[in-house]
Amino acid sequence: MKVIEVKTHDREEFIDITSAVENVVKESGKKDGICFIYVPHTTAGITINENADPSVKRDILMAINKLIPYTWEYQHSEGNSPAHIKSSIIGQSVSLIIENGRLVLGTWQGIFFCEFDGPRTRKVYVKIL
């Protein structure tokens, strides 16, 4: 298993980690298989979406924040319940196909680490199968 370190700079932020994951695939020497990517955090997530127009990730964040308000009747004493909920909705893992030594992604797709309670230093686990 390889660990990618991600430094986030804002409370909420989508960070494109596609090239870091591609490097792990390249270093593995694996030509065909599965790349499993896992985020071991309760206030962060991972998703695949458009990486061509940066307004897409802004719009996704805006919509998530509309669905899950910062203030509500939350009970969690740490005060970061919205981040926990966003993490659960987005999810902690994605799996990708490796073919001819490369990740199979659509033309406009990228892999995004999703920070919901930053800034922090985060980890992403990558396992090549």
Residues that bind Zn ion (CB under 5 A): 78, 80
- Quote the least distance from Cβ 41 to Zn ion, whole Å: 11
CA angle 111, 52, 69 (to 5 degrees): 65
The residue whose Cβ lies closest to Zn ion is 78
User: What's the CA gap between 53 and 36, in Å, rounded?
Assistant: 25
Residue pointed to by tokens 């196909």: 97
- Closer Cβ to Zn ion, 76 or 102, answer by number: 76
9: amino acid identity, one letter? H
Structure tokens at 77: 């004493």
- Quote the least distance from Cβ 43 to Zn ion, whole Å: 6
DSSP structure class, residue 14:
E
- Closer Cβ to Zn ion, 21 or 81, answer by number: 81
What is the number of other CB atoms lying within 10 angstroms of the CB of residue 117?
Answer: 21
- Closer Cβ to Zn ion, 75 or 100, answer by number: 75
Question: Are the CB atoms for 57 and 14 separated by under 8 Å?
Answer: yes
- Quote the least distance from Cβ 20 to Zn ion, whole Å: 27
- Closer Cβ to Zn ion, 82 or 110, answer by number: 82
- Quote the least distance from Cβ 82 to Zn ion, whole Å: 10
